[in-house]
Chain A
Amino acid sequence: EVQLVESGGGLVQPGGSLRLSCAASGFTFSSYWMYWVRQTPGKGLVWVSRIKYDGTITHYADSVKGRFTISRDNAENTLYLQMNSLRDEDTAVYFCTRDGRGLGFDIWGQGTMVTVSS
């Protein structure tokens, strides 16, 4: 079965750090661009970051640039998001997703909740 499973969310204080993981299975992980997208409860989807299939190119939303780092381990079929200097406004459900084709995100994880609060 093709699936993505996120983990690593939780409660963290402002200024703290957290690393999210996304385990992929059922497809050739190393062939796809991968993305992180977040959603504040009750609000819309917001793109966070993306990484090329071989890890050589990464892009970030302005709101997280310099604080978040996306990476991947193709041998372990896992995507990561290292989040540092967390702010209240980073509170959201974080989804990992696959660019299946034509920038259509065809596979999504179930999401992991990150809460930044003192």
Chain B
Amino acid sequence: QSALTQPPSASGSPGQSVTISCTGTSSDVGAYNYVSWYQQNPGEAPKLMIYEVTKRPSGVPDRFSGSKSGNTASLTVSGLQAEDEADYYCSSYAGASVVFGGGTKLTVL
């Protein structure tokens, strides 16, 4: 039950695109298409942004997209906006458990 690996920080200017990686193993990210991404602002609960690798819940802007290759999943935020500045966490199903990434702080410059 080791945490997934995310970069601690990422940044981009308004309008740019930024991609956050999430690296696991062949027992979690690589084994299942159950990767999800969450946005969390300080003092708030996480918000689901992507589930099943690529799917967006209703209400999430299509600027947010997800993908996966092998043991690494990615979240891409296109057309960065100031409101996108937050912490982002990935998670993956891992059989009888769920594992989260350590989180990435996204800064909009």
Where the two chains meet, the residues of A that have a C-beta atom closer than 8 Å to any C-beta of B are: 35, 37, 43-47, 50, 59, 61-62, 95, 100-106, 108-111
Contact = CB atoms under 8 A, between A and B. Distances in A.
Nearest to B104: A44
Contact of B103 (A45, A62, A103, A110): A45
A7 to B, nearest CB: 15
B100 interface: yes
Chain B interface size, as a band, is: 20 to 34
A45 B38 contact: yes
Which secondary structure characterizes the binding site on chain B?
Answer: strand
The winner among B45, B46, B57 for most chain A CB atoms within 10 A is: B45
21 contacts: A35-B98, A44-B101, A44-B102, A45-B38, A45-B40, A45-B46, A46-B100, A47-B98, A62-B1, A100-B51, A100-B57, A102-B34, A103-B34, A103-B36, A103-B52, A103-B91, A104-B50, A105-B91, A106-B48, A106-B57, A111-B45
Contact of B45 (A44, A62, A108): A108
Contacts of A103: 34, 36, 51-52, 91, 93, 98
